[in-house]
Structures are given as structure tokens and as C-alpha cells.
Copies of this chain bind each other. A is one copy, B any other.
Amino acid sequence: MSFNTFGHLFRFTTWGESHGPALGATVDGCPPGVPLEPADIQQWLDKRRPGQNRNTTQRNEPDAVEILSGVYEGRTTGTPIQLMIRNTDQRSKDYGDILNTFRPGHADITYHQKYGLRDPRGGGRSSARETAARVAAGGVARQALGTVAHGVQVTGYMVQMGEKTIDRARFDWDQIGRNDFWCPDPVAAAEWEDYLTWLRKDDHNSVGAVIEVVARGVPAGIGAPIYAKLDTDLAAAMMSINAVKGVEIGEGMAAAALTGRDNADEIFMGEDGLTYSSNHAGGILGGISTGQDVVVRFAVKPTSSILSPRASIRIDGTPTEVVTKGRHDPCVGIRAVPVSEAMMACVLLDHILLDRGQTGGARGRIG
């Protein structure tokens, strides 16, 4: 994790700006022999792609990925995989107003303060458009997981929009792909639809969200204490996504309110191996996977680019009011769902490789 690179053994470096000619990910350390073609990656990019419905930005980008290296005759060669996505629908004139102004709650001001200059077109490097590159890298990770850890499944979904949460009693995995919000609760999804329409059209506002991402089928023993714990790297992975302000593993912040007796996931030996009475731990103990579902949750703040005026200053220090026109997501959390899946897949693959590097698959027997 250094500047624009993520990962230990399976590493990717993302590059590109919102309104430059292209963006992408340089993926290094992928195992050799993994079947990979553009369609394997495209399917995930299509989930994240903007302009698909009225609830996300109207910027219309095909987000077509090109594999420029690292694959020969449909299989990875173990050398770097360059994934490039061209930008096609830049409208930089939309941003003329903010060239010399800082949107409150946006990275405009901090990039300017740090670097002394910034690419203001569409937020430049700080744009959530960077996350397309992560999704592409995540597509490679998923293919590789299919080879090295068959059975791992990663699924993200939204559990809260603004103050409106799902009802866990109505949780249905099959609903997740059937609405614009990756929402497992169809009743909530319908409510969110109305709320977001009002927020966008009438209130000229935006709203935050909570996303949960679950990995099933993760083998026990993955993770590397003390500073490369599985939960440490997952926290870093999610917090690195634009607009994320909180990350939870298992019980998360609610763990504070529990007692040790309540929080204990009791252990039993079942017919097919270990079972647990509960999963407060979110599948991770001491930074290492238990074999239970790995459960991560994170909060996305509301988009700072809104049509409602907010007080700010210009680069020369004079006061102004900022109203952001352009094309923006009223709830950027929606598109964070496939991004979080990609980051989860990358972290898991990376740790599976790290583990087999150090331990060679040595495992302690139980029973």
C-alpha cells in the first residue's frame, strides 16, 4: 500500500483522471495460467458503470476494458496485466465554474493545498471514476480466486440509504440484482427509489449509505498478523474508496455495547467440521480467517457535489457560494457496491497467496 498501489503479492496500481484520455490498473503478481479474457472483467465493470439508470450520474461511459499485457492465448502468464479503460464522455466545460473554487466536503481544496496545482476537470484524480480501475483489477482477482480458492463468493449489497435501513427479516439474496440499489430487501428498495427521486429532483440534495460485503467460502487460516491482518487490510481497502468514513468487521461499532459472554462465538464440532453458534467476529479472529463468512460493512458519506448552494471561498480567498451542476450521483453509495466487492476479492486473493508463500499450506489439524 504505497501511494497508488494496493496489495502485498497480488498488487495493483491504478492510474488516470476523470477527464483524461483513459484510466486503468496495472495488476502485478497474478498467478500464471488463470483463464482471462475481457468479458471476465467487463461483467463487473458493467455493474458499476455510470449512466445506467436515473439514480446514478448521467455521464455515459461504456467503460470497455482492454487487456494490453500479461495474457497469452486466454491465460495469464504471471507477468503484469495492464487494464485500460478509455474515457469517452468527458464534458469538462461543466466544471468551468469550479476551476478556482473549492466545493465544501470535496478534495478540491486539499489537493490544491498539497500539490500546489490540481486537475480540476471532473475532480481529476480524486474523482470516483478511479474506482472503475479497481473493479477491473477485482475482475482479475475473481478469476484467479476461481483457480486458487475455488468456492469463494463475494457479494455486496446496500443495507441503509440515509436514515432508511433494510429489514433483515426480509433479506433475500436473490433480490440484490433486481433493483437499482443492490438492495436485498425489496420493500426498502421501493422506498429508496421514491426517496432518491425526491432528493434529486426536488430537494437538490444527496445522501449517504451503508454497504455490506460478504465473502463466503473463505478457508480458515488466511491473514497475517500483526500489521497485515485480514481485517486491517480490509479496513484499508474499504476506507480507500472515495467518500467512505467508517468500516466495520462483524459486529463493528456495536461490539462496544456487548459483553464478553454475549460476544463469544461458541465453537462446536459438526459433522462437516467446525461450526459456530454465531458470527459476531465477522469471520476473523486475531487477523486470521475462521472459515465463517467474512463480513465487512462501511458507510459512504453523501456526495458533496450538489445543486444546493453552500458557502465556500475562491482560490484568492474571497467568499462565494458553490452550486455544483455537472453530472453527479445523488447517492454515490450505490456504485460503491461493486467497488467494495472488487476490493474484497483483491484482499482475499492477496492473502491467500501470502499465506501459501509463508506457510505453504501447512495447517493445524483439529479433531
A sample of 7 cross-chain residue pairs with beta-carbon separation below 8 angstroms, ordered by A number, consists of A1-B233, A72-B118, A79-B225, A110-B286, A113-B290, A236-B239, A266-B312
Q: Which of B33, B113, B259, B317 contacts A116, CB < 8 Å?
A: B33
Contact of A358 among B160, B206, B221, B353 (CB under 8 A): B353
Chain B residue nearest to A353 (CB atoms) is B357
Q: Kindly report which residue of chain B lies nearest to residue A107, judged by CB atoms.
A: B286
Interface size class of A (residues with CB under 8 A): 35 or more
Segment among A18-26, A44-52, A181-189 that sits at the interface with chain B = A18-26
- CB of A191 to closest CB in B, whole Å: 15
Identify which of residues 190-228 in chain A touch chain B, using a CB-to-CB cut-off of 8 Å.
199, 203, 205-210, 220-228
Q: Which residue of B lies closest to A209 (CB)?
A: B256
Residues of B within 8 A of A365 (CB): 116
Shortest distance between the CB of A136 and any CB in chain B (Å): 14
Given contacts A2-B8, A72-B119, A114-B359, contact A240 B247 (CB under 8 A): no
Chain B residues with CB below 8 A from A326, complex form: none
Structural contact, A302 and B263, CB atoms closer than 8 A? yes
Copies per assembly: 4
Most interface-central of A4, A70, A161, A299 (chain B CB within 10 A): A4
Could you tell me which residues of chain A, from 296 to 341, have a CB within 8 Å of some CB in chain B?
Answer: 299-306, 308, 310-313, 315-319, 333
Residue A277 at the B interface, CB < 8 A? Answer: yes
Flag if B125 contacts A225 (CB, 8 Å): yes
In the bound complex, residues from chain B placing their C-beta under 8 Å from that of A146 are: none
Q: Once the chains are docked, how many angstroms separate the CA of A205 from the CA of B263? A: 11
- A124 interfacial contact with B, CB 8 Å: yes
By the criterion CB–CB under 8 Å, are B256 and A366 in contact? Answer: no
